[in-house]
Amino acid sequence: MGILFSEQPQEEFSVFEIPPLEKHFETSEDTYKYCSQLDAYKLDVTEFGLSHNTYTEEAMESLAETIQECPNINTANLSHIFAEWDEMSSPRILDILAKTLLGFRELRELDLSNNFLVQQSMDTIGFLLENTPTLKTLKLDFNPLGTEGSLALSEALKNAKELKLHALSMEKCSIGDKGAVAISNAFEDMRSLREINFSWNDIKKQGIVSLCRGLAFNEKIQILKLEGNYINESCAYSALAKVSRGLKYLSILACGDACLGNSGIKGILSSLGSSDHLLELHIEYNDVDQNDIGEEVIALILKHKALEIIDISGYDFSIETIERIKEAANRNDRDLKIIYEDKDNCSTSDFPPLDNNDSVVGGIYLDEIT
């Protein structure tokens, strides 16, 4: 299988990707055919991907020499390129990539997910952030950064004075409370964020409160994902409800499996009353067992005409309450997908899955919000 390019006629050859076959590239000879094919289209390529393969320094140097000759690159997909973090070779390979990326004056999106990145990697990534002011999307999901790595990232974000990120995704990075507090402080100065994913990071009360305080300075937030953290204390879920109430462009809120309980869910549902763009609400598995919360779910469904998905899996609602929720969803021929759990613990949905485009917010596109 050879090089892959975009098949769309209007963007022909705009995407260069080495097939993601979990292959190991050892020498420059291994990359030669890809480099030679890319060389013919270097002025057309705007996106490149090396994901789901591993590379030695020699192989990466060979690819980098060719990729850096593509002046119009704006997107780099570099997830799953390290099988482990080797203290000798991994930093050098990351340095090669960083030097290559620094040459792209229009770089907007960088995906470094699933790369075993640790604190040691943050010097290189920090330098890249400080010198790539065009970057809008940074994905670091599933890297064991831990608290120390998160603190280092926070310093990098603070030092990158010209950086105005739109999206930061750090799912399952072991951020913890201290890491969340530090990164949240950087958000206060950035004031450009539109999407945050901090799901499954063992963030508790202090981190949630600080995060919400930082997000309040980013009024254009549209997508907020905090699933799998601990939002069980009143000060934490009150902070989340308060910031949600103030985010007028909020379209996707995901806080499932966050120990919110009855009081926390009530606060979240009431806070969303003023949102005009809500498309998805994920509040599943939050220890909810009061049927009166079902009434609030119904009220939210009736108010938010654009709502496409609501996940209430794990809620101990009566059959009658579930039927009333389904009835509300069916009004006016709506295409609303309800995800819930029946009494036999079988996940079910009353509507077919919808195509989801996270870049669209109630008809408002990310780049159109000024």
The predicted model gives 39-57 an average pLDDT of 96
Report the candidate in 313, 307, 316 with the shortest Cα–Cα distance to residue 337: 307
How would residue 341 be classed by pLDDT, with cut points 50, 70 and 90?
confident
pLDDT above 50: residue 359: no
- Asked if 253 and 361 touch (Cβ cutoff 8 Å), the reply is no
The predicted model gives 189-209 an average pLDDT of 98
Domain 96-364 has CATH 3.80.10.10: yes
Confidence at residue 290, expressed as pLDDT on a 0 to 100 scale: 87
What share of the chain has pLDDT > 70, as a percent? 89
pLDDT above 80: residue 110: yes
Confidence at residue 345, expressed as pLDDT on a 0 to 100 scale: 52
Distance CA(326)–CA(315), nearest Å, equals 14
pLDDT tens by residue, 66-95 = 999 999 999 999 999 999 999 999 999 999
What share of the chain has pLDDT > 90, as a percent? 83
Confidence at residue 185, expressed as pLDDT on a 0 to 100 scale: 95
Confidence at residue 356, expressed as pLDDT on a 0 to 100 scale: 42
Distance CA(136)–CA(206), nearest Å, equals 27
User: Domain-by-domain residue ranges, the chain?
Assistant: 1-95, 96-364
pLDDT above 70: residue 258: yes
CB-side neighbour CA atoms (13 Å) of 232: 13
pLDDT above 90: residue 271: yes
Question: The pTM is what?
Answer: 0.90
pLDDT above 60: residue 368: no
- What is the greatest pairwise CA distance in the chain? 66
Report the candidate in 361, 226, 238 with the shortest Cα–Cα distance to residue 284: 226
Confidence at residue 274, expressed as pLDDT on a 0 to 100 scale: 67
Confidence at residue 348, expressed as pLDDT on a 0 to 100 scale: 55
The predicted model gives 263-290 an average pLDDT of 93
Confidence at residue 62, expressed as pLDDT on a 0 to 100 scale: 98
pLDDT tens by residue, 281-322 = 999 999 998 889 999 999 999 999 999 999 999 998 999 999
